[in-house]
A and B are shown apart, each in its own frame.
Chain A
Amino acid sequence: MQAIKNFFGFAGECVLVFFRSLYYLPTLPWQFTRLMDYCFNIGYKTMPMVSIMAFFLGAVLVMQTGDSLEDFAGANLYLGRISGLGMSRELAPLISALLLAGRVGSSVTAEIASMKVYHEIDALKTMNVPAERILVMPRLVAIILMMPIVVGVAIFVGWYGGAMAAAHVPFIAQPEEVYWANLKHVVSFHDIIDGQIKGMIFGVSVILIACTQGLNTKGGPREIGMSVTSAVVASMVIILFLDFVLTRVLM
């Protein structure tokens, strides 16, 4: 019972932090340097890892389905379709968000939690500079700007990984042209937009959870560590739950 109460309490705080952050949106033009810094950290630095994961995930997806479809004559022609829809609608936004929760979410929570513990947040309050204005709102804008790029890169790299596997794994040996033709025939712009919507909602959730958890931290170094763990676990659970809901809604 207490866990459910805590969950709804935390969810409510996340919503409050979100709306408080929106209130400070007009101050964004003054925080351009900070926004660029967050964009660099959230987007650019996440890109190499997302690309590596997406490439191998696309390749493995094609190998696994290629192996399974071998029993059905001609079914291998659908590899492009499976990889195309799977990556764009589901896997690219999901792996990008999970990686973001681990890499960016943890560092954001650790940074804000240590600022809270070492009185930097108190100093901000006495200076009449709310934490939501400089620590949360620019990060939310950064994630909204960067997530489409990260997810877009993940989609295309994943497709390319699939094409490589289809062409070069001996038991599939499908010409790349066939793979791409099938993919282009099936995947529409709408599928990519679905993936982008998912990615953006996942990203906003990760940042909100990370910031709220950081701002709620009390105690010392041990509590900072506990906050980081809680934020990452909560982000991953929420991502999977939202994935289910959004898939149903967007279908």
Chain B
Amino acid sequence: MANTPENPVDDRRAVRVEIDRVSKSYNNQRVLDDVSFTIEPGEIFVIMGPSGAGKSTLMRAIVNLEKVDEGEIRINGLDAFKQQTHKLMHTAIVFQAGGLFNSLTVEENLGFYPREHRLYDRKTINEKVAYTLRILNLEGCADKMPSQLSGGMRKRVAIARSLIIEPRLLLFDEPTSELDPVSAANITEVIGTLREEYDMTSIVVSHDRELAASIGERVALMGSGKVVMLDTPQKLAESEDPEVTAFLKPSINCNNPRFRQNLAC
């Protein structure tokens, strides 16, 4: 509980996230196995790992979309599940597919949270929406429906919608998946620069090694529900651990006759 703010709820600054011996199983299969680490306030923390490593489950547990079987997730010292921290502290998540409301325009998507919670008057909401659209270069698509946007634009709109609530904790689920390299680089840049504008902690779940290397301050590499290694991206890249290199530097088996024909192995 060190460095926990005096008033963990009303304090408007970035939050500390503590994952404490968390385990979770589905149908007797352990997807999270005694996972522990702490994410410092304001940090951009990347969780990497192969498919099925438990990254997305952990992220969903942080925002209370999943209940863990054992252990505790604490946000600013408060139990995320028991004290429903996502309701107390501004927490937002950018889903892999965006999670945009398909029946609403981009502008309505962005204004949805403040309108539903009656946070501001109509004029202030419109100003905040316009400002957020501007910082993410989305001014031209305010009246478009999500179905009219490209994959990259949808991700940016999803990020913009999360920023409207001025989050203290923002989570990204595979933000660069299904995007072309240019759009992926663009989204990576957006995530990296958001901290200049907003005081928040960012957790990014991704397969993307370039994203982790360019914006991650620390990276947790997960495998089979456990944390294999937690360090800076540089240390991770230099690691000789076979489990780490298997993920970061995968190699094609050249003895496979199907590949041998096409690759100059």
Interface residues of A (CB under 8 A from B): 30, 111, 114-115, 118-120, 122-123, 125-129, 134
Which of the 9-residue segments B67-75, B113-121, B203-211, B229-237 touches chain A? B113-121
Which residues from B are CB-within-8-Å of A127? Answer: 92, 112-113, 116, 165
Q: In this complex, what residue of A is CB-closest to B158? A: A123
Complex Cα spacing A134 to B96, Å: 24
Complex Cα spacing A118 to B101, Å: 9
Determine whether the beta carbon of A128 is less than 8 Å from that of B86: yes
Q: In this complex, what residue of A is CB-closest to B93? A: A126
Complex Cα spacing A196 to B163, Å: 48
Determine whether the beta carbon of A123 is less than 8 Å from that of B87: no
Q: Chain A contact residues: over half helix, strand or loop, or mixed?
A: helix
Contacts A120-B102, A125-B64 aside, 13 further interface pairs with beta carbons under 8 A come to: A114-B102, A115-B101, A119-B97, A120-B99, A122-B95, A123-B93, A126-B86, A126-B91, A126-B93, A127-B113, A127-B116, A128-B86, A129-B112
Interface size of B by CB at 8 A reads 24
CB distance from A236 to the nearest CB of B (A): 27
Determine whether the beta carbon of B101 is less than 8 Å from that of A125: no
Are A128 and B117 CB-contacts (below 8 A) given A119-B97, A122-B95, A123-B95? yes
Which residues from B are CB-within-8-Å of A118? Answer: 97, 99, 102
Which residues from B are CB-within-8-Å of A122? Answer: 60, 65, 93, 95, 99
Q: 3 smallest A-B Cβ distances: which pairs?
A: A119-B99, A123-B99, A119-B95
Instruction: Report which of A111, A119, A120, A134 forms a contact with B116, defined as CB distance below 8 A.
Output: A134
CB distance from A228 to the nearest CB of B (A): 17
Could you list 15 examples of A-B contacts with CB < 8 Å?
A30-B118, A114-B102, A118-B99, A119-B98, A120-B100, A122-B99, A123-B95, A123-B99, A123-B101, A125-B86, A126-B64, A126-B91, A129-B113, A129-B117, A134-B116
B63 near A: Cβ within 8 Å? yes
CB distance from A183 to the nearest CB of B (A): 45
Which residues from A are CB-within-8-Å of B118? Answer: 30
Which residues from B are CB-within-8-Å of A126? Answer: 63-65, 86, 91-93
Determine whether the beta carbon of A120 is less than 8 Å from that of B113: no
Which residues from A are CB-within-8-Å of B112? Answer: 127, 129
Q: In this complex, what residue of A is CB-closest to B112? A: A127
Complex Cα spacing A129 to B114, Å: 11
CB distance from A60 to the nearest CB of B (A): 39
Determine whether the beta carbon of B113 is less than 8 Å from that of A125: no
Complex Cα spacing A134 to B115, Å: 12
Interface string of B47-73 (1 = CB under 8 A from A): 000000000000010011100000000
Complex Cα spacing A125 to B66, Å: 11
Which residues from A are CB-within-8-Å of B100? Answer: 120, 123
Determine whether the beta carbon of B165 is less than 8 Å from that of A125: no
Which residues from B are CB-within-8-Å of A128? Answer: 86-87, 117
Determine whether the beta carbon of B99 is less than 8 Å from that of A129: no
Complex Cα spacing A126 to B85, Å: 10
Which residues from B are CB-within-8-Å of A134? Answer: 116
Which residues of B118-176 have CB atoms within 8 Å of chain A's CB atoms? Answer: 118, 165
